[in-house]
Amino acid sequence: MNTIIFGDGNLGRAIAAALRETGTEPRILGRPATNGRHVPDALGSVDMVFDASRGDAVLTNVESALAAGCRRFVIGTTGWDADRPAVDGVLREAGASAVVAANLSVGAALFLRIVERAAALYGAVDGFEPYIVEWHRRNKRDRPSGTARELARLIVAGEGTADDAARAGTADDAARAGTADGATRAGELEIAVVRAGSSPGMHLVGFDAPGETIELRLTARDRSAYAAGALAAAAWLSAASRSAGCHPFDAVIDEMTQRTLAATA
């Protein structure tokens, strides 16, 4: 099987290492030398693509791989939200399918579900104010991270407050708009972003009240969890015919958990 990984950074190399353990030797491609686009003829006949590149390269990478005949994609790149409708469109037009996630870790996907439930519970009572802290390596480009943005969306939806628009704006546009003196506005979701060192990823969600604080934390020790999730997504795509377009990683998680629960019933 001709497997290509777009992106020769930390995530791309981690996916490659995981594939080699299964007996698959992938081709890892960095940024194209000219024109910002990979030449389809140079890709060969592609069976599976993993995208771990840059947000501004996802659309052209997908277009090039589609032209080379690929119909299955796993996209773990972040920072391409503006191009998602276009990516979904070209996939549908070609009859191709992709699993898309800002974070391909199975543990992170389950963490999101825990946070969603926690936000609903603490949002149902008075006095608990949510916040998010995320820490990644110094050279990570997007801030807040894609995972932090998804956590913010879940918290806003779970709380169901009247100030949802203001909270959603902080998740979409910046870590925190704040007021002129740096204070947090009432009803605004605080998202603290740290870009330092080489951390592969830490996300903390807290709910603070006058007399107590509850914190939920997800810490990645390395990128092996992301790679394992990428392979699980590829297996899901290969296991059955999937509808064209972008699929959330949740679809993979649903099938995994349902299979496990059925086996233990």
Per-residue pLDDT reduced to its tens digit, 25-37: 999 999 887 678 9
Per-residue pLDDT reduced to its tens digit, 181-234: 566 666 689 999 999 999 999 999 999 999 999 999 999 999 999 999 999 999
Q: Is there a catalytic annotation at residue 140?
A: yes
The reply to whether 90 and 123 lie within a common domain is: no
The reply to whether 133 and 209 lie within a common domain is: yes
If you search the block for the tokens 């926690």, which residue do you land on? 118
Strands 27-29 and 72-75: unpaired
b/e 106-127 (16+ beta carbons within 10 angstroms → b): bebbebbeebbebbeebbeeee
The reply to whether 16 and 60 lie within a common domain is: yes
- Strands lying side by side in the sheet with 97-100: 27-29, 3-6, 48-51, 72-75, 97-100, 245-248
Q: Is there a catalytic annotation at residue 38?
A: no
**Under DSSP, is residue 213 helix (H, G, I), strand (E, B) or coil?**
strand
Q: CATH number of the domain that 144 lies in?
A: 3.30.360.10
The reply to whether 90 and 15 lie within a common domain is: yes
The reply to whether 22 and 99 lie within a common domain is: yes
Q: Which of the residues in the chain have pLDDT under 50? A: 161-180
- Amino acid of residue 173: D
Residues 6+ apart with CB under 8 A from 220: 105, 108, 199, 200, 201, 202, 226
The reply to whether 187 and 246 lie within a common domain is: no
Nearest to residue 215, comparing CAs of 158, 130, 149?
130
Residues 5, 16 contacting (CB under 8 angstroms): yes
Domain with 245 in it: 3-104+223-264
User: What was the pLDDT predicted at 99?
Assistant: 98
Task: Point out the catalytic residue in the list 38, 136, 203, 247.
Answer: 136
The reply to whether 176 and 253 lie within a common domain is: no
Does an H or E element contain 100, and which?
A: strand 97-100
The reply to whether 196 and 236 lie within a common domain is: no
- The pTM score is 0.82
The reply to whether 169 and 242 lie within a common domain is: no
User: What was the pLDDT predicted at 230?
Assistant: 98
Q: How many helices (H) and strands (E) does the chain have?
A: 9, 10
User: What was the pLDDT predicted at 169?
Assistant: 46
The reply to whether 170 and 94 lie within a common domain is: no
> For the chain, what percentages of helix, strand and coil (3-state, to nearest 5) are there?
45, 20, 35
Q: Rounded to whole angstroms, how far apart are CA atoms 120 and 128?
A: 11
The reply to whether 160 and 200 lie within a common domain is: yes
For the chain, the domain total comes to 2
The reply to whether 13 and 80 lie within a common domain is: yes
